[in-house]
Structure 1
Amino acid sequence: MKTFLVSRTDAIGDLVLTLPLCGWLKQQFPGCRVVLLGRDYTRAVAAACPAIDAFLSDDELRKQSEAQQVATLRDLRADVCLHVFPSRRLAALAQRADIPLRIGTRSRWFHWLSCNRLVALSRRHSPLHEAQLNLLLLRPLGLSSVPTLPELVLLGGLVPTETLRAETAALLRREWPGQLNIILHPRSRGHGREWGLAHFGDLARALHARGHRVLVTGTQAEGDSLREWLTEHAAVLTDMTGRLDLPQFLAFIGAADGLVASGTGPLHLAAALGRHALGLFPPMRPIHPGRWAPLGPRAEFLVIDQPNCQECRTDAAACRCIKALEPALVLARVLAWQPLPPAYL
């Protein structure tokens, strides 16, 4: 096995939890080449992962004719294609490109037509973490054991590829030795249950009152949706929404001390960068922390102690289970953190 093509064309958080698979391949097949097939907006994450050797953009691939797409995949000379995120189109292209070993799950009917190795894999009801579930796809390669989560933490780390711009780095300059630079990421773009602006506001005020710096991140669209709340709390936080592209966002997280968010991409980025990362989760399957907890040396999560939040299934915006996490509880976790040197030093 010399070249592995790992197909993961969905969200950033999902990709981050696929990085341990790439690291595991590197460990089990020394000298192998790992190529990630992903969306353009995840390119910077792939570049920051030492376990990934090359990136193939599916957005660029789609601009080609079908014959050109097949030729592009064939030129990779991949020995194995791992369909971590199922795509009927990409599965068919990999087959036409004559990639010798094409691995997919049995639960997708099109994999029966395009893959020559099928894995029985049910994510929704499995007790395994998402990163461990991804590794089950490696069974046809003779890798039947599943590493523990602490083992996976060592395999999926990120290192920023850019140095933080000077004007942004100046915002993080400590005014006293124990001061923390804390990123709050209130929105989740539908990828996690949101804790609520009222709670984030209480947390921001409490951190500011103790002399710590609070910085709020998000896309430009998320910033626009937060405009009234950001204005209301302007005295206790710094608005960073819409100001950073992904490479600089990685550098920014890597220069801060920690991040608080629901189960969304930035939480997983912070964990993989080795920062303090506190995830706020509901207990409801399949979005509970048993499946989606952040993986990192300083990653942690909070979830209320109840079996399931079935009542919240019909209205995600009104999820009472995640809002039952009191700001004082989150504050106590953050205040236990220690200042960290930048991740890129």
Structure 2
Amino acid sequence: MVKENKNWNGKHIAISRVDSIGDVLLTLPVTAWLKERFPTCRITFFCKNYTAPIVKYYSAIDDIVKVDDLFTLPKHEQADAIESLGIDAVVHVFPKKELAKLFKKAKVPTRIGTSHRLFHLNTCNIRPNFTRKKSPLHESQLNFELLRPFGLKEIPTFEQVSKLTYLFSIEAQNLSEEFQALLDKKFVILHPKSQGSAREWPIEKYIELASKLIVNGYEVVFTGTESEGKQFRQLLPEDIRCHDSTGQLSIDQLIWLIKNASALVACSTGPLHIAGFLHVKTIGLFSTRIPIHPGRWKPLGDHSTVIVFDANCEKCKAKKACDCISEIPVDTVLHEILN
């Protein structure tokens, strides 16, 4: 077993989080926490290609490795590519067997991964033992459990983690004429879908909310992928103040549009967390069922709020099938936006 090292100044630390946008965002604060305590350490973030535009806007990170590109290399070159980076430690925040094997093959001295993955027995030499499902901590706080081997025993409060969102910033992006014109107006972003990653508020309620926002003097922008847009764009209000951006924005453009919005409404999905990091008024719609409840997944940031239909939903408490998120009233969400 590798011994804990309490001084990681001047060392090169890799953080590996190779899943979705929201998960990656909630991992970024651990890099700032490391930099605050070891100011001269170097941090490289391993992520998927499509989340790299998110990671590049967080100032605590020195370099990014896009794992999709890494895996396009011939197999015999992949470990060599990692070894050439001179990494002293890697933290597998999101366990991925192929990467864990590569870091071991690359002879990275300190390899940290949860003890709850069998393949870490052979690939990681430090295996913290903690559970996410049963913990009362927020997802962003849970990631700090993996920093204990660096001598960092303190788990920051949710408020402390939220303060670390201020290291996230974006410069102006080029937008189409339609969306560029919105930047001088009041507009609200509605992101109805989650690619199946969360319980969703019904699209009919988003449509009703859009109509009420227009009456209240707002422009409305619906965001999402092209495939998501196909599911609802024919239902959108036929009004020049309602805009369909689905399938039209790059990640960078989406971030810039969110940055300039009056508010964003979504369920527990990537754009919700982007808005939280940008300190836009962020309204998350949630079920109270464990482990998808807001206590675990609410957005960070000082302008974020969550809405549930019934905080004491008996079905959710019993982990039974429940669609109580659908019962959240449109006027409740509207009131949160307007006030």
Q: Which category describes the TM-score, using the shorter chain as reference length? A: over 0.9
Checking the alignment, whether the CA contact within 8 Å between 1:204 and 1:236 is kept in structure 2 is no
Paired amino acid for 1:298: H
Aligned equivalent of 1:340: none
Percent identity of paired positions between Structure 1 and Structure 2: 39
Note the alpha carbon deviations across 1:232-290, whole angstroms, 9 max, x for none: 45455111111110111111111112200000000000101111111000000000001
Checking the alignment, whether the CA contact within 8 Å between 2:272 and 2:284 is kept in structure 1 is yes
Checking the alignment, whether the CA contact within 8 Å between 1:164 and 1:252 is kept in structure 2 is no
Paired amino acid for 2:141: Q
Cα distance between partner residues in 2 of 1:73 and 1:270: 33
1:69 is matched with which residue: 71, 74, 78? Answer: 78
Moved more, 103-112 or 234-243: 234-243
Paired amino acid for 1:190: G
User: 1:221 and 1:241, CA in 2 relative to 1: closer, same or farther beyond 3 A?
Assistant: same
Query: Does residue 1:201 correspond to 2:207, yes or no?
Result: yes
Aligned equivalent of 1:160: 170
1:191 is matched with which residue: 197, 202, 206? Answer: 197
Aligned equivalent of 1:170: 181
Aligned equivalent of 1:247: 252
Aligned equivalent of 1:120: 129
Paired amino acid for 2:275: A
Aligned equivalent of 1:334: 337
The 5 Å alignment of 1:304-319 reads 304-307=310-313, 309-310=315-316, 319=322
Note the alpha carbon deviations across 1:195-233, whole angstroms, 9 max, x for none: 011111121111111111111111111111112212x45
Paired amino acid for 1:325: I
Paired amino acid for 1:277: T
TM-superposed CA distance for 1:307, in Å, is: 4.5
TM-superposed CA distance for 1:295, in Å, is: 0.1
Cα distance between partner residues in 2 of 1:34 and 1:307: 42
Query: Does residue 1:16 correspond to 2:25, yes or no?
Result: yes
Paired amino acid for 1:111: H
What secondary structure is seen at the aligned counterpart in 2 of 1:102?
A: strand
What secondary structure is seen at the aligned counterpart in 2 of 1:182?
A: strand
TM-superposed CA distance for 1:309, in Å, is: 3.4
Checking the alignment, whether the CA contact within 8 Å between 1:185 and 1:217 is kept in structure 2 is yes
TM-superposed CA distance for 1:311, in Å, is: 9.3
Aligned equivalent of 2:107: 98
Cα distance between partner residues in 1 of 2:251 and 2:227: 15
Report the aligned-residue RMSD: 1.7
What secondary structure is seen at the aligned counterpart in 2 of 1:309?
A: helix
Aligned equivalent of 2:139: 130
TM-superposed CA distance for 1:3, in Å, is: 1.3
The 5 Å alignment of 1:48-63 reads 48-63=57-72
Aligned equivalent of 2:233: 227
Aligned length: 327
Cα distance between partner residues in 2 of 1:263 and 1:166: 28
Paired amino acid for 1:331: L
Note the alpha carbon deviations across 1:78-111, whole angstroms, 9 max, x for none: 1110000001111111111111110000110111
Q: Gapped runs of 5+ residues in structure 1?
A: 175-179, 337-345
User: 1:71 and 1:247, CA in 2 relative to 1: closer, same or farther beyond 3 A?
Assistant: same
TM-superposed CA distance for 1:192, in Å, is: 1.2
What secondary structure is seen at the aligned counterpart in 2 of 1:218?
A: coil
Moved more, 296-305 or 154-163: 154-163
Q: Gapped runs of 5+ residues in structure 2?
A: 1-7
TM-superposed CA distance for 1:312, in Å, is: 9.9
Aligned equivalent of 2:300: 295
Query: Does residue 1:280 correspond to 2:290, yes or no?
Result: no
Cα distance between partner residues in 2 of 1:59 and 1:234: 41
Query: Does residue 1:39 correspond to 2:53, yes or no?
Result: no
Note the alpha carbon deviations across 1:36-61, whole angstroms, 9 max, x for none: 10100001001111111111011001
Aligned equivalent of 1:271: 276
What secondary structure is seen at the aligned counterpart in 1 of 2:91?
A: strand
Q: Taking structure 2 as the reference length, what is the TM-score of the superposition?
A: 0.92
